[in-house]
Amino acid sequence: MTETAVIIRSNGAILVPTDATLDVDGLPQSATGQTALLTGINAPKVVGRHVTAYPTTTLKAILTESNIFRQVMDRDGSVALANAYTPEYFSAVEVGRLRHGAVTFSALSAGVPLRTPKDLGEGRAVFHDLTNAQPRAWGYEVPKISPEQAGRNLAGIASEHHLTVFEFFLSDLAAHGRVPMAPVTVVEMIDQCLSGIIGAGKWDEMLMVLVSDHGNIEDGRRDIHTRNPVPTLLVGNGRDRVAENIAAITDVTPAIIEWLASEA
C-alpha cells in the first residue's frame, strides 16, 4: 500500500484503500484477484503468480471449496448473483469461445441459479452494461434503463437475500481500450448506479460493499493494470465494523461473513 492511502469517511460512506498485490510481484490480475476476493484465500501466493482472465484448475478447486456463496449457504444464508446471462453466453462457453470467470464459476459450483433475459425484463436481474443496450442490440425485448434504475433493481434484489453479488467489468475493458467507451463515461455510469442503489437501499439493515480485483482505470497514463490499492466503498449498517477488518482484498469475504454472523 502506498503511504498516501488513507481511509476516507464522508456522508455515511467509508472508502478503504485495499491492497490487491497480496505480496506477490507483478501486476495483479483477474483470475487470482477474483479468487482472493471471493474466498479470502491468497490465491496468487498459492499459485506463485498473478493469473490473468479465467481461473485455472487450482483456482477452480479453491473457488469450489471456499467461494463466498458457498460460505453463506453453509451458514443457511440465501444468496444471489444479480447478473443476467443469455443463452448465447452458454453456447459460447460450450464451444470454447468463452470461459466462465471466477464469479460465474463460483455461483455455478455452489448451485446458485443464474438469472435469465426473462428476469432482466422483469427487473429481477441486471445486465453487466447496466442499461440493457447490449441485450437489446442482440434482439432481446428488455427495457432500456438508466444506470440509476439498474442500481434500484440491484437494491431490490439485495433486499431479498443475505448476500447479493453483482459483477461489473466495463471499467476494466474501457481502461484497456477494449470497448468504445471513455473511462470517464464508465465512472459516471458507476456513480449513477450507486446513486440508484443508495437511494433505494434500507441502510439500517443493509450493507453495500463495492470493491475491485485490481487497479487499472484510475491511471489513464497506461492501459494496463496497476499495483495501486483498490477502493473498498462501504455504505450502510456495519460499515465501521467491516472497514476495520479490511486491509487487503483477501479480507473482504471474511469481513462480510463476520458481519453476516454478527447480524444473524
Q: List Cβ neighbours of 187 (8 Å cut-off, separation of 6 or more).
A: 171, 217
Q: How far is the CB of 172 from Zn ion (least distance, A)?
A: 4
Q: How far is the CB of 56 from Zn ion (least distance, A)?
A: 17
Q: How far is the CB of 224 from Zn ion (least distance, A)?
A: 8
CA atoms of 213 and 31, how far apart (whole Å): 9
Shortest Cβ contact with Zn ion: which residue? 172
Contact call for residue 213 and Zn ion (CB under 5 A) = no
Residue number, 172 or 251, with CB nearest to Zn ion: 172
Q: How far is the CB of 52 from Zn ion (least distance, A)?
A: 8
x/- mask, Zn ion, residues 52-91, rule CB under 5 A, reads: ----------------------------------------
Q: How far is the CB of 138 from Zn ion (least distance, A)?
A: 24
Which positions from 10 through 49 interact with Zn ion, judged by CB under 5 A? none
Residue number, 39 or 171, with CB nearest to Zn ion: 171
Across the chain, the runs of DSSP E, i.e. the strands, are 8-10, 13-18, 79-81, 163-165, 207-210, 230-236
Question: How far is CA 170 from each of CA 44, 127, 182, 207, 244, rounded to the nearest angstrom?
Answer: 23, 11, 10, 23, 29
CA atoms of 261 and 74, how far apart (whole Å): 12
Q: How far is the CB of 216 from Zn ion (least distance, A)?
A: 6
Residue number, 13 or 211, with CB nearest to Zn ion: 211
Residue number, 148 or 172, with CB nearest to Zn ion: 172
CA atoms of 236 and 241, how far apart (whole Å): 11
CA atoms of 223 and 202, how far apart (whole Å): 37
Residue number, 119 or 172, with CB nearest to Zn ion: 172
Residue number, 175 or 194, with CB nearest to Zn ion: 175
Q: How far is the CB of 53 from Zn ion (least distance, A)?
A: 8
Question: How far is CA 95 from each of CA 27, 84, 90, 91, 99, rounded to the nearest angstrom?
Answer: 30, 20, 9, 6, 10
End-to-end CA gap in the chain: 33
Residue number, 54 or 140, with CB nearest to Zn ion: 54
Using CB under 5 A as the binding criterion, the count of chain residues that bind Zn ion stands at 1
x/- mask, Zn ion, residues 117-156, rule CB under 5 A, reads: ----------------------------------------
What phi and psi values does residue 41 have, to the nearest 5 degrees? -95, 140
As a whole number of angstroms, the longest Cα–Cα distance in the chain is 50
Which positions from 149 through 178 interact with Zn ion, judged by CB under 5 A? 172
Per DSSP, 22 falls in state T
- Residues of the shown chain interacting with Zn ion in the complex, contacts defined by CB under 5 A: 172
